[in-house]
Every structure is written in structure tokens, then in C-alpha cells.
Structure 1
Amino acid sequence: MSTWADLAEYVREEYEVLSEAEDEIRILFDFEHFNEEDERTQVVILVREVLDKQHEWVQIATPIGKAADVDLRALLTEIGHSSIACGAAIMGEHVVLRHSLPLATLDIHEFTEPLALLAGTGDQLEEMFFGGDHY
């Protein structure tokens, strides 16, 4: 990968795109399960960020629930104990997990592995703290 356009092309080929804007792509990350009745998915938002007006980055984020509906201390404590590939933030009304990567030297595995970890962690925390699969 070297640019946002390269990454966007790869994402369109490999994932289910829910929506796309100039610097944002929303995908549906689909987890493989043995039981189709328990199939879970996670919305993941990819955003192009530019650092110092010259370095392209991709921010990977997934919403897990509304900040007003959760004990933030308990949630952040759990993230601190169980997550290696993301941090938490409040964006608008939602708690999101996010991770950022520079695009200039990005190997595709440096994108796909954190994406899967972030989606999986988001799915687990969403179930644990918000009681379902809403995003």
C-alpha cells in the first residue's frame, strides 16, 4: 500500500462496503461462525487522515455503543486488560475502538490483522457492555 486510493481499492475487493465518501469507507466485517443462527458482524469505519498536511494515515474505528449507556471506567479497565490493537475514544455520542496506521509503508497484513483484532474486540465488548450486536 502506498496511498488511500490503493487501500480503498483493496477494501472494495475484499470487504462488504456499506457506504463510501471521499475520505471514508464503512464496511461490514463478517465473522465466520459454525452456527449461522449466531452469525455476528461489526461495522468498521476506515477514514483517511493526513498528518502535518503530508503523511497519509488510515484510521480504523468501530462503534460499540453509546457513551451514556455504559460505565466508562469499567469499559476502559476491560480494554486495558484485554486489548492489544486498539484504544477507545468517544466520538459524538458513541464509544469507538480505533487504531491508526501510516499508509506510505503499509504492508497489507499490517492492515488486515489490526482490522480483524479491532472488529473482534469491538464485537466482544459490545456484547459484554451493551448486551447485543447493534453495530
Structure 2
Amino acid sequence: MATWRELVQYVREEYEVISSSDDEIRILFNFEEFDEDDERTQVVIVAREVLDAKHEWVQIASPVGTADKVDLRALLTEIGQSSIACGAAIMGDHVVLRHSLPLKDLDIHEFTDPLELLAGTADQIEEMFFGGDNY
């Protein structure tokens, strides 16, 4: 997989798409596919980013809650101790977990493994710090 179009086609075939635009596709990651007893879901945003007007990257991000309703130090400490596949950022009003990968010569496992890890971590962080399943 080497193009944004190929990645979008793969995502459309493998995941439940809830919205899309030219440079972004949003999916509803369903944990029930991996565990029949888990009815939780997580919104995951897959976006095309261009670095220095020439290098294409794919960013995987998932909102976990609003920044004004959380102890950011505790949240960042937890992410630092429990995650290897994502970092945290504030985008707009929301805390998001995100991971970025170069699109050129991207192997599908270099995309799916971090996506699954990020979705699972985001779901756990959301439940732990925000007490729900809103995203």
C-alpha cells in the first residue's frame, strides 16, 4: 500500500465508515468483533497529512474527552505508563490520542496494529478518565 487512495479503499472494506472527505475518513471501531461481550466502540479518525508539501503521512487519532474536564497531568502519566503506540494532544476542545506513519511504502500491519492499539488505549483512557463511552 503506497497511496492514500489505496489506504482509504482498505479502510472502507475492513471498518465501519461513519464519515469521509478527501483527506479524512472516520470509522467506528467495534470491539465486539474481538470480544463478543464488549459492546464498546471508539471513533477513530484516519487523516492524510502532508509534511513539507511533499511527504505524505497518515495520522490515526481518537478523541477521549474534553480537555477542560480532566486532570491532564494524570492522563498524560497514564498514557506514558500504559501505551507504546500513541501520544496525546489537544485538538480543539478535545484530548485525542494519535499516532502518525509515513504513507510511502506503508505495510498494512504497520497501519492496522497501531490503529487497534490506539483504539483500545483510547477506549480505556476514555472510560478511566471520563467515565463513559461517548466517542
Per the alignment, residue 79 of structure 1 pairs with 79
Runs of 4+ in 1 over 6 A off after TM superposition: none
Q: Does 1:34 align with 2:31?
A: no
SS in 2 for 1:99: strand
- Consecutive unaligned residues of structure 2, counting only runs of 5 or more, are none
Which SS does the other structure have where 1:124 is aligned?
helix
Secondary structure of 2:101 counterpart: strand
- Give 1:34 shift: 2.9
Task: Quote the residue 1:132 is aligned against.
Answer: 132
Secondary structure (helix, strand or coil) at the match of 2:116 reads: helix
Question: Amino acid of the residue matched to residue 51 of structure 1?
Answer: L
Amino acid of the structure 2 residue aligned with 1:26 = R
TM-score normalised by length of structure 2: 0.96
What corresponds to 2:67 in structure 1?
Answer: 67
Partner Cα separation in structure 1 for residue 50 and residue 4 of structure 2 = 10
The letter of the residue matching 2:36 is F
| Secondary structure of 1:104 counterpart | coil
Cα RMSD for the two superposed structures: 0.7
Distance 1:34 1:27 in 2: 19
Aligned residues: 133
**Cα offsets for 1:84-116 (capped at 9, x unmatched):** 000000000000000000111110000000000
Q: Give the structure-1-normalised TM-score.
A: 0.96
1:43 aligns with 2:34: no
Give the match's secondary structure for 2:53. coil
Amino acid at match of 1:116: E
- Give aligned-pair identity as a percent: 77
- Partner amino acid, structure 1, of 2:41: T
**What secondary structure does 1:133 align onto?**
coil
Are 2:86 and 1:98 aligned? no
Structure 1: gaps of 5 or more residues: none
1:111 aligned to 2:115?
A: no
Distance, in Å, in 2 between the alignment partners of 1:10 and 1:34 is 24
Looking at structure 1, the residues matched to 77 and 53 of structure 2 have their Cα atoms a distance apart, in angstroms, of 34
SS in 2 for 1:29: strand
Aligned equivalent of 1:89: 89
* Aligned equivalents of 2:68, 2:114: Cα separation in 1: 27
User: Distance in 1 between the 2:100 and 2:29 partners?
Assistant: 17
Matched, 1:13 2:16: no
